[in-house]
Amino acid sequence: MLYLGADHNGFHLKEYLKKYLDERGIIYVDLGNKKFQKTDDYPDWAKLVAKKVQKNKKDLGILMCGSGQGMCITANRYKNVRAAFGWSAAAARRVRHDDDANILCLPAWGLTNEQGKHIVSAWLNTAFAGLTRYKRRIKKIDR
């Protein structure tokens, strides 16, 4: 399953990406915020997505806030979550391919909707390479 979460800064990007995911037939669950709320806090949405992703190795998440970094910091506090900052399609491909990132964090302040779409597409269409050295590195994180 793919889980989405965004605070007020990432809300409009999330809504745009939902339309893109719908067009592609990608099933997702929007964990919130489900309405624009200027006073919401990014950790609330990051925690919801991270808790879902940590339960199932096949699940993925996409988090959006202003800088993308607050979501990333929060999500990475959860065991078995490897949240990565996605500032470009190339970076998104590398974090999936090399690091098996299971949550993508997007900086809504620095991206157009189209850039966000290309980054998400690159991330979703890239598989973890599973090379021995990559697995070894991930094991070191989980210790």
Per-residue pLDDT of the chain (143 residues; tens, 9 = 90+): 999 999 999 999 999 999 999 999 999 999 999 999 999 999 999 999 999 999 999 999 999 999 999 999 999 999 999 999 999 999 999 999 999 999 999 999 999 999 999 999 999 999 999 999 999 999 998 76
Give 127's contacts (C-beta < 8 A, 6+ positions apart).
96, 97
Q: Which residues are catalytically annotated?
A: 65
- pTM metric for this prediction: 0.97
Question: Which domain range does residue 113 map to?
Answer: 2-142
pLDDT reported for residue 96: 98
Count of domains in the chain? 1
pLDDT reported for residue 141: 87
Which residues in the chain belong to E strands, given as ranges? 2-6, 28-30, 60-65, 83-85, 103-107
Distance of CA 35 to the CA centre of its chain: 19
pLDDT reported for residue 142: 75
CATH code of 128's domain = 3.40.1400.10
Sheet containing strand 103-107, edge to edge, reads: 28-30, 2-6, 60-65, 103-107, 83-85
- Report helix angle 89-97 to 113-124, nearest 10: 20
pLDDT reported for residue 63: 98
pLDDT reported for residue 21: 98
> Do the beta carbons of residue 74 and residue 47 sit within 8 Å?
yes
Give 63's contacts (C-beta < 8 A, 6+ positions apart).
4, 5, 6, 10, 42, 45, 46, 49, 71, 72, 75, 83, 103, 104, 105, 106
Position 92, amino acid: A
Helix (H, G, I), strand (E, B) or coil at 51: helix
pLDDT reported for residue 143: 65
Q: Phi/psi zone of residue 115: left (φ > 0), alpha (ψ -120 to 50 degrees), beta?
A: alpha
Q: To the nearest 10°, report the CA torsion of 23, 26, 32, 33.
A: -20
